[in-house]
């Protein structure tokens, strides 16, 4: 793993179990044989990243139509020429960027574009605030259990990534995601609801 990452320019260090425990002091790492540490690793607030990208795009001449649902990508001779909105407005453009999140696949399909994207179930929980938890706590990933741990809003986040995550809404995702919940999942009932 480390040699592969180094070949791709990632500054990764193999560290001892003690060094791993020193970096992540709240965990029980007695069975850890070694760890990998990337000093430059970090995480970003998705809203801040989005706003930075939007600012850069605006500086380059892009226009944004917030709160507007793009219902169709218009094309001529296989090239996108704009979008049609849900209220019937036509917006022409030299370049069209599909950034519709989990709706991107459906929007692309309407224009004959196959975007290899599929929303998948992803589970995580966040504990209550823990006064002693450092915001600088590194992300701890455990590939053997498909879990990760990190600080989140003063608590500890435990996330699960299955190697074959269950696809969500194969039939398509319609409407707003506001207040959308997946509901009780039988596959995790023994873990989460007992």
List the domain boundaries for the chain.
1-41
Rg (CA), the chain: 22
Cβ(155)–Cβ(125) under 8 Å? Answer: no
Q: Tens digit of pLDDT per residue, the chain (194 long)?
A: 788 999 999 999 999 999 999 999 888 888 889 899 999 988 888 899 999 999 999 999 988 888 888 888 998 887 889 999 999 999 999 888 888 888 888 888 888 888 898 888 888 899 999 888 888 889 999 888 889 999 998 999 999 888 888 888 878 777 665 545 555 554 444 444 43
| Cα 82 to Cα 68: distance, rounded to the nearest angstrom | 14
Q: How far is CA 5 from CA 2, 35, 160, 191, in A?
A: 5, 14, 23, 34
Q: How far is CA 154 from CA 136, 138, 193, in A?
A: 11, 14, 24
**Residue burial 167-191, b: 16+ Cβ < 10 Å; e: rest:** eeeeeebeeeeeeeeeeeeeeeeee
Q: Which pTM was predicted?
A: 0.67
Phi, psi of 106 (to 5 degrees): -65, -45
Task: Tell me what percent of the chain is helix, strand and coil, each rounded to the nearest 5.
Answer: 25, 25, 55
């Amino acid at each position: 793993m480390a040699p592969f990452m180094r070949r791709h320019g990632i500054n990764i260090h193999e560290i001892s179990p003690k060094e791993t425990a020193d970096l992540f002091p709240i965990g029980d790492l007695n069975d850890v044989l070694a760890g990998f540490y990337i000093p430059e690793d970090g995480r970003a607030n998705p809203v801040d990243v989005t706003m930075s990208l939007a600012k850069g795009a605006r500086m380059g001449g892009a226009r944004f139509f917030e709160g507007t649902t793009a219902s169709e990508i218009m094309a001529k001779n296989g090239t996108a020429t704009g979008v049609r909105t849900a209220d019937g407005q036509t917006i022409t453009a030299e370049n069209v960027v599909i950034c519709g999140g989990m709706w991107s696949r459906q929007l692309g399909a309407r224009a004959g574009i196959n975007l290899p994207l599929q929303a998948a179930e992803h589970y995580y929980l966040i504990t209550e605030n823990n006064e002693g938890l450092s915001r600088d706590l590194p992300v701890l990933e455990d590939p053997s259990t498909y879990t990760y741990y990190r600080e989140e809003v003063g608590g500890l986040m435990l996330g699960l990534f299955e190697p074959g995550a269950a696809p969500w809404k194969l039939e398509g995702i319609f409407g707003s995601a506001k207040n959308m919940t997946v509901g009780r999942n039988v596959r995790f009932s023994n873990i989460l609801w007992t």
